[in-house]
Amino acid sequence: MEKVNELIVISLGENTLHSVLEQVKRYIGNQVKIRGYSIEKGLHEQFDDQVVLITGDIVFQYSSKHIQGAKKVMIARRALSYEKINQVFSLKEQTNVLLVNDTEESCFEAIEQLKSHGFQSLNFFPYYPGIDSFVECNVAVTPGEAHLTPKGMEHVIDIGNRQVDITTITEIMFEFGLLQDSGVLASSEFVRDVIELTRHLWKLNQKLDDSNLLLSTIFDKFPKALLFCDKDGRITYTNEKMNWIFEGQSLLGNNVLKLIDSEFDLQLAQEHEDTVAVLNDHTYIVSVDPVKKEGDILCYLMEFENYDTLKQLDEVVRTKINHQKFVARYSFSHLYSRNHQMIQMVELAKKMARRDSTILIQGESGTGKELLAQAIHNESSRSHLPFVAVNFAALSSSILESELFGYEEGAFTGAKKGGKRGLFEEAHKGTIFMDEIGDAPLDLQVKLLRVLQEGVVRRVGGNEQVPIDVRIIAATNLNLEEKVREGSFREDLYYRLNVLPLDTVPLRKRQEDILPLMQYYLTHLSGEEIYHVHEYMENKTIDFFLSHPWPGNVRELVNVVEYMVNVKAPRKKIALVDLPSYILKEGNLMKKEHVKQKTCSEEKEVLLVIDETFGIGRRKIVQELLNRGIKVGEGKVKRILEQLREKQLIEVNKGVRGCVITEEGKAELKKVFVT
């Protein structure tokens, strides 16, 4: 029999015919002649001994007489075009949709296919030319037959002609013996189609990714912690600040109700404007907003604002507004520390606040001595009465005297008419804070002592004794014991002041406080809610801060934070180079010293402690070494002291004078620490 090299394609409508012809020609158009016919236009030929491709079962019914003598009849399997189907995804569940096609059968076929592709939740109703009646719908979906949709249809989605699938193409090729020659070509054509489709999907994805990035950047810059969760509370999105509440860990997929304290209720929370909730041991003001689409709740947006910070800001604002001359602004809630020694000290201070005895606060500059004094006053029964601060380092002896004790009219040239009440009188019934008391001139010390002993003041130029009832809190960053030994501070005054001693701890000895204090002040000074310092600065900057010696203590830290808040560029974290140069220099110096100290023997460590703390006893040396991370028992320190004494590097005195370094000792230290 003569070899047939022609393919006959028969479809119901012209539209489908053109689409199928175009597709089949792409694969085998070079090797096989292809002719097409539609039932729509009418069939007049017989296709005996021909190879025939029909576009559906229904075509068979209409063309059976013409193709019964055909050599082979194949039915094309056709798939939906994924490229165009995405519009159907935008339809809401349970929407009534008119499926428009050229025949009843092709309508049902397309409906079946759409359902099998996951569109079960749409209600499809068929529409084809000649249908008796049909369900009125607002939306029509059609595979390439948009021209058939009934008039007045608002929304028509054309998902395009269905594509002849690869198995049908393979069947045709097999029939024409082309599989070996063109099979590769056909499959590569098919692969190309798949690649095209993938590229298209990738582009769509890319667009989604871009808008996601945009949105998450906006959310990350938002000043509060945010999350989205579904109706059951399962978290679907969190911004950076939210993650920092949980120390940077991702919360996606967790249930927000399990993260919040048990009494929290999503429904109730959205009815109230602000609800208080506890998360990871901190209190937050939470507001919940439902995100709705066409009346249905899609998800919830939850905002969290740090309640503790808000409360403190509120207190500061209130005390600033109320600020009068003699008001203490700070309370214990402003004094932050996780350090064991500091916590104990604060507990002690709270107890002392209840009594009236004199307190002496000793500690390095910037460690919060004044803050502590104000907190003690505000915790005491005198809190509603004046808190008067006087700085002994800032004023000369004569001015100090008239400021403290007041003066009578005509007491000296320039004295005010009618005289002036002194600070002791102003502080009557309240507290007087004598800052930098170590700098008080000796002559004034005598007068102070008398006031403390007798509870009366005498104005400059006056004779009258004015009784005063004040609570005294003194502070110094100098070593008063040493000053007593040197003779520059009166021993009797020292004992009079040192009734209730408190010692603040330098920041370098409480590393655990550095980052929380930074976070606290970043939030206060930037006006933004900073949930974790990592939001604000690079890891290297954080490491630097953790190893910085902080000679200016918390005051220095507050200054650095203020500097950072001023220089920080939007969307950029603070890097080391952004820090003020003085702090970088301090850091380097410290590192060198640290290296040297590490190489130093215990004997040298003890010598160093004695050098730094004039007249120190054995027990205090052990404690000081511990503070520096060196554990040496008292017995060993005793032996070391003995050796140092034998080498004449120190003098060991009995009683208060303790151990003192000698000139030889100092020279020895220099040898160790020469760079």
Can you tell me the distance from the alpha carbon of 521 to that of 512, in angstroms, rounded to the nearest whole number? Answer: 15
With binding defined as CB under 6 A, does residue 369 bind ligand ATP? yes
Instruction: Please state the closest distance from residue 374 (CB atom) to ligand ATP, in A.
Output: 8
Per-residue contact string for residues 601-640; x = within reach of ligand ATP by CB under 6 A: ----------------------------------------
Binding residues with ligand ATP: total (CB under 6 A): 18
With binding defined as CB under 6 A, does residue 554 bind ligand ATP? yes
Residue 88, number of CB atoms within 10 A of its CB: 19
Residue with Cβ nearer ligand ATP (320 or 666): 320
| Residue among 144, 366, 419, 438 that touches ligand ATP (CB under 6 A) | 366
| Residue among 76, 335, 434, 457 that touches ligand ATP (CB under 6 A) | 335
Collapsing DSSP states into helix, strand and coil, what is residue 411? coil
Can you tell me the distance from the alpha carbon of 13 to that of 647, in angstroms, rounded to the nearest whole number? Answer: 114
Residue number with the smallest Cβ distance to ligand ATP: 368
With binding defined as CB under 6 A, does residue 103 bind ligand ATP? no
Instruction: Please state the closest distance from residue 373 (CB atom) to ligand ATP, in A.
Output: 8
Determine how β-strand 465-467 pairs with β-strand 471-476: unpaired
Angstrom CA distances, 651 to 607, 636, 643, stand at: 11, 17, 11
Interacting residues with ligand ATP between 419 and 478 (CB under 6 A): 435, 477
484 neighbors 438 (Cβ within 8 angstroms): no
Instruction: Please state the closest distance from residue 335 (CB atom) to ligand ATP, in A.
Output: 5
Residue-by-residue DSSP string for 491-507: HHHHHHHTTEEEE---G
Using the rule CB under 6 A, give the single segment among 112-120, 168-176, 197-205, 361-369 that binds ligand ATP: 361-369
Residue with Cβ nearer ligand ATP (525 or 576): 525
With binding defined as CB under 6 A, does residue 555 bind ligand ATP? yes
443 neighbors 460 (Cβ within 8 angstroms): no
Residue with Cβ nearer ligand ATP (234 or 555): 555
DSSP label of 459: -
With binding defined as CB under 6 A, does residue 337 bind ligand ATP? yes
Using the rule CB under 6 A, give the single segment among 60-68, 197-205, 328-336, 494-502 that binds ligand ATP: 328-336
Can you tell me the distance from the alpha carbon of 604 to that of 493, in angstroms, rounded to the nearest whole number? Answer: 35
Residue-by-residue DSSP string for 33-78: EEEEEETTT------TT-EEEESSHHHHHHHHHHHTT-SEEEE--E
Instruction: Please state the closest distance from residue 363 (CB atom) to ligand ATP, in A.
Output: 6
Which contiguous run of DSSP H or E holds residue 517?
Answer: helix 514-526
| Residue among 270, 365, 488, 662 that touches ligand ATP (CB under 6 A) | 365
Residue with Cβ nearer ligand ATP (59 or 522): 522
With binding defined as CB under 6 A, does residue 96 bind ligand ATP? no
Determine how β-strand 296-306 pairs with β-strand 465-467: unpaired
Residue with Cβ nearer ligand ATP (336 or 387): 336
With binding defined as CB under 6 A, does residue 336 bind ligand ATP? yes
With binding defined as CB under 6 A, does residue 312 bind ligand ATP? no
Using the rule CB under 6 A, give the single segment among 78-86, 247-255, 358-366, 542-550 that binds ligand ATP: 358-366
Instruction: Please state the closest distance from residue 537 (CB atom) to ligand ATP, in A.
Output: 19
| Residue among 370, 439, 529, 535 that touches ligand ATP (CB under 6 A) | 370
Using the rule CB under 6 A, give the single segment among 22-30, 36-44, 367-375, 479-487 that binds ligand ATP: 367-375
Q: Is 516 left (phi over 0), alpha (psi -120 to 50) or beta?
A: alpha
Using the rule CB under 6 A, give the single segment among 84-92, 102-110, 550-558, 652-660 that binds ligand ATP: 550-558
Angstrom CA distances, 411 to 24, 43, 203, 462, stand at: 117, 130, 89, 8
Where helices occur in 130-247 by DSSP H, the ranges are 166-175, 179-221, 240-245
Q: Which two tokens stand for residue 370?
A: 């004044």
Per-residue contact string for residues 155-194; x = within reach of ligand ATP by CB under 6 A: ----------------------------------------
Q: Which two tokens stand for residue 51?
A: 């190879």
With binding defined as CB under 6 A, does residue 235 bind ligand ATP? no
CB contact burial 136-149 (16+ within 10 A = b; e otherwise): ebebbbbbbbbebb
With binding defined as CB under 6 A, does residue 368 bind ligand ATP? yes
Contacts of 415 (CB under 8 A, 6+ apart): 402, 407, 408, 409, 461
Instruction: Please state the closest distance from residue 455 (CB atom) to ligand ATP, in A.
Output: 26
Residue with Cβ nearer ligand ATP (517 or 669): 517
Instruction: Please state the closest distance from residue 477 (CB atom) to ligand ATP, in A.
Output: 5
| Residue among 58, 423, 537, 558 that touches ligand ATP (CB under 6 A) | 558
Contacts of 99 (CB under 8 A, 6+ apart): 107, 110, 111, 114, 124, 125, 126, 127, 140, 141, 142
Instruction: Please state the closest distance from residue 370 (CB atom) to ligand ATP, in A.
Output: 4
Interacting residues with ligand ATP between 501 and 540 (CB under 6 A): 517
| Residue among 16, 23, 312, 367 that touches ligand ATP (CB under 6 A) | 367
User: Which residue's structure tokens are 């590229």?
Assistant: 199
Can you tell me the distance from the alpha carbon of 589 to that of 178, in angstroms, rounded to the nearest whole number? Answer: 83
With binding defined as CB under 6 A, does residue 319 bind ligand ATP? no
423 neighbors 403 (Cβ within 8 angstroms): yes
Which residues would be at the binding site for ligand ATP (CB under 6 A)? Answer: 334-337, 363, 365-371, 435, 477, 517, 554-555, 558
